[in-house]
Amino acid sequence: MTGTMQTSTSRSAHRLIRQSRSRLLGGLRVAPVALLLLGVASLPAPAGATGCLPGSTAINGGRVTNSTTVSASANGGLAVSNANGGDQNVAVAGSGGLFGDGGNASAGNGGIADANANGSMIDLDNINSGNNRGNSIAVSGGASCGGSTVINGGTVRNDTTVSVSANGGTAVSNANGGDRNVAVGGNGGLFGDGGNARAGNGGIAAADARGGTIILGRINSGNNRGNTISVNRQKGSRGPVQISGGTVTNTTTVTASANGGTAVANANGGDGNVAVGGQGGLFGDGGNASAGNGGVAAADASGGAVTIGDINSGGNRGNSIAVSGGSGSVAVDGGTVTNTTTVDVSADGGIAVSNADGGDGNVAVAGSGGIVGDGGDAAAGNGGVANADASGGSVTIGDVNSGDNSGNTIVVGG
């Protein structure tokens, strides 16, 4: 029993020694490799050995702004013209001699009034505010193994504003006859004619507030380009890439107006006037009598003429974004691309008011003719001639091109 147990113990001890020796030898073989790897990990790597750049990259392209403003005006102003007849005047013409004519008598009649508030002329050559370029951003080498690349392309803006006006202003013209005037024409002599009598009649009133003339050449605000962003990451780059293309805006506003203004012309006859024509002599004619009649009123507020050449605000391109290389996550927002074109042109007629009304309570007595002569004519409170024109003008516009625009171009490689 004892010998058997000793033999078994001896064999077990030998196996334990052999196993321990094997593990010890294995450990001695593995230890230098582990120590070597530990040393490599703890030592700094040579520059460019891993293909990764240290740290993060953040880029904001900023703002690229092109603003063109053209403002021209040749508007009519304010014109007021008065040639009204007076009130409560008395005119008595003298009698003619043996062979002479009686004198004419005129009291409180309107004269000639002319008011002009037209818009003038504007002539502009070609306007070019297009063909602009946004920011160009290029990043090579990529992010570090753990760093990030953040790019905002920025804002690219092109504003073109053309505001031109040659509108008519305000013209007011008055040539009204006066009130309560008395005109007595002189009697003619033996062979003479009786004088004419005029009291409180409207004169001639002309008010002109027409729109002017606008001539514009070609307007080009198109063919703009957005931001160009390129990221080329080296092999082994794993950091995330976040790109926002930014905002690309092209706004073109053309406003041209040559509208008619306000024209008011009055040549009304007055009220309560008395006109007595002189009597003719033995062989003469009697004088004419006119009281409170309307004169001639002309008001013109027509629209002017607008001529615009071709308008090109198209052919724009959005942001161009390209990402290549690396294995990290990529997030791309192409941004916003906007093209707005507004053309507002008017040559509308304005307001034209013309009055040549006859007056009230007027008396006209024509003179008697002689034995051979004719009696005079009498006119009282008759309307005159009124002409009001507020016609629209003419607008001519060439081709308007706001198309052929392209959005963002985004390419993400492997």
Span 259-286, pLDDT tens digits: 999 999 999 999 999 999 999 988 999 9
Instruction: Note the pLDDT of residue 370.
Output: 86
**Under 8 Å CB-to-CB from 210, ≥6 apart: which residues?**
76, 118, 119, 168, 260, 261, 300, 301, 302, 303, 304
Q: What are the extents of the domains in the chain? A: 1-35, 56-412
Q: Assign 237 a pLDDT band (cuts: 50, 70, 90).
A: confident
> How confident is the model over 196-232, as pLDDT tens digits?
999 999 999 999 999 999 999 999 999 999 999 999 8
Query: How many C-beta atoms lie closer than 10 Å to residue 331's C-beta?
Result: 11
Alpha-carbon distances, residue 47 vs 44, 54, 100, 201, 374 (angstroms): 9, 10, 126, 106, 125
**Cα angle for residues 57, 62, 66 (degrees, 5° grid):** 155
Average pLDDT, the chain: 85
Of the ranges 22-26, 306-310, 325-329, the best mean pLDDT one: 306-310
> How confident is the model over 146-171, as pLDDT tens digits?
678 899 999 999 999 999 999 999 99
Between residues 44 and 375, the one the model is more confident about: 375
> How confident is the model over 282-303, as pLDDT tens digits?
899 999 999 999 999 999 999 9
Instruction: Note the pLDDT of residue 141.
Output: 67
Instruction: Note the pLDDT of residue 151.
Output: 93
* Gap between the Cα atoms of 217 and 196, Å rounded: 59
Instruction: Note the pLDDT of residue 146.
Output: 61
**Under 8 Å CB-to-CB from 219, ≥6 apart: which residues?**
126, 127, 160, 162, 252, 254, 308, 309, 310, 311, 312, 313
Instruction: Note the pLDDT of residue 238.
Output: 78
**pLDDT over 80 at 391, yes or no:** yes
**pLDDT over 80 at 6, yes or no:** no
**pLDDT over 60 at 414, yes or no:** no
Instruction: Note the pLDDT of residue 233.
Output: 81
Distance of CA 297 to the CA centre of its chain: 35
Instruction: Note the pLDDT of residue 43.
Output: 28
**pLDDT over 60 at 111, yes or no:** yes
